[in-house]
Structure 1
């Protein structure tokens, strides 16, 4: 009887700790684990030997005026989704000390700018998707057991958490466009197959709820706006990703996948920018040596490298979380509330 009471007390404490935000507002999921490139990086590259760093002004001007290493003026898409899930912002993995690693129960961000799905898609030192998953494996193997103790508690935490993956753009811009050794359809198939293998590793570690983002219209950026030849090369990846994620869901028992097609959604913004509050969707708000734009909320692009402004990211976050245009087959809110089979 005493053991049963102890179990009930621990169970209550665990549930309270894993599902409650700092301000005591109940979160929708235990944690958000983030994998990706500069679109999601929130400071990991600050700790690497790379030119792909943005820990200087005016990056972060709308993030309490702090240049944390986010490749935009404010919050990233991953930050915005964490907030909607009522979770604290996942800290960058490389920003955690050894003692902090096992104290984080609400998610970690492993994303790294200028890196890709393939290990040779990179600029300088960065965390490829393989490396990011290696660090997540360390979290699951070394850190979480110290907190959860029992394997079934940790397994429940991992299975109910959400895994946000947004990577692949650099595999085109830093890899494919430099040699084009395959046909676009073949490269898309190859890239998605590599991504699928890495997702299966996450699944084997306990992940069950996945959000997988497509590659944006890389032909539309401040540097080359708007090169439709480039867009058509990238397009097959977005088209095939949706089919592949649903195939993975059938293949991996108990998993739930949603895909985010930002490639198609950008067409809506491009065709009716004023509807979404933009007066400029071709030039960056910030460019070195040029005065910062007057109204950052009216610019789709933040910098000349094609990183989007917080205003644009909020549009994507709002629709993907509770809307119906970006995500398939359901939005993120429904994913968070879904019961695993």
Structure 2
């Protein structure tokens, strides 16, 4: 009902889809070809980052729906959203809850556009758009029943927990892991520890500022790997579905912190075959692909180690990503203290 009630095209002022850019006039119905793009299950780039603001996008509606269902919203729930984007998600949330939504956006232009959208949808009495990086949350409008992040973050700020109603409060966030951002739910357990559980595999544009400090990542997936001698290497030759490949990716990231998403500076490399890699800043990189084949640049021992980890996953029964939980503990990361993944546990599913 929420998706039927909130028109997505009214939340989009300018967007990029594939190689084309589109500009929509406010209060004007787009033509049929544009509507087909807007109302298909497409992720749409809304800010490229060329203006100095962080890049931003409107996620695929199917992913938005899965996240909102997982958030377990109920009438009256007060929600804090980190990453306003176009304002579309906040509008969906308040339609479901009938309650106030506070949404924070790091990009100045995106925040202004989202606020304009919320006013145009006549929701300004229930949705407040704030320009900021989201690290501190927004205490004046708390406490909140739910907190949702729609950008990739490195960890959970303790400030969010201070603003979350307990014991039923829930955080849903794409958490940095192995170069991507699988979506986790996070709650306090009976011992007071914050425990996350992988619920949806995904990837998101990274958050700006203190929510994703660059010093926590030895490889930025946006930076290509030098590929002086990119060559095929012996693999497992066991083809995997997309879901199984993500399950493997999650497992590899738990076993070795050097696992990441990576692309070599070589036009012959096809990212569609799978970009999960073991990257060593000194020795090179090794990739595992959907069909079980492997690619290598640099030292042979990287291939051998990655092949061993892949074999271990098979011997462990190919555990799915959603079978893992993780305890998040405080880590001092300079100006931004975050609760970061500390200990992973394989559960029954």
Normalized against structure 2, the TM-score is what? 0.30
Select the structure of larger CA radius of gyration: 2
Higher strand share: 2
Question: What's the TM-score once normalised by structure 1's chain length?
Answer: 0.30
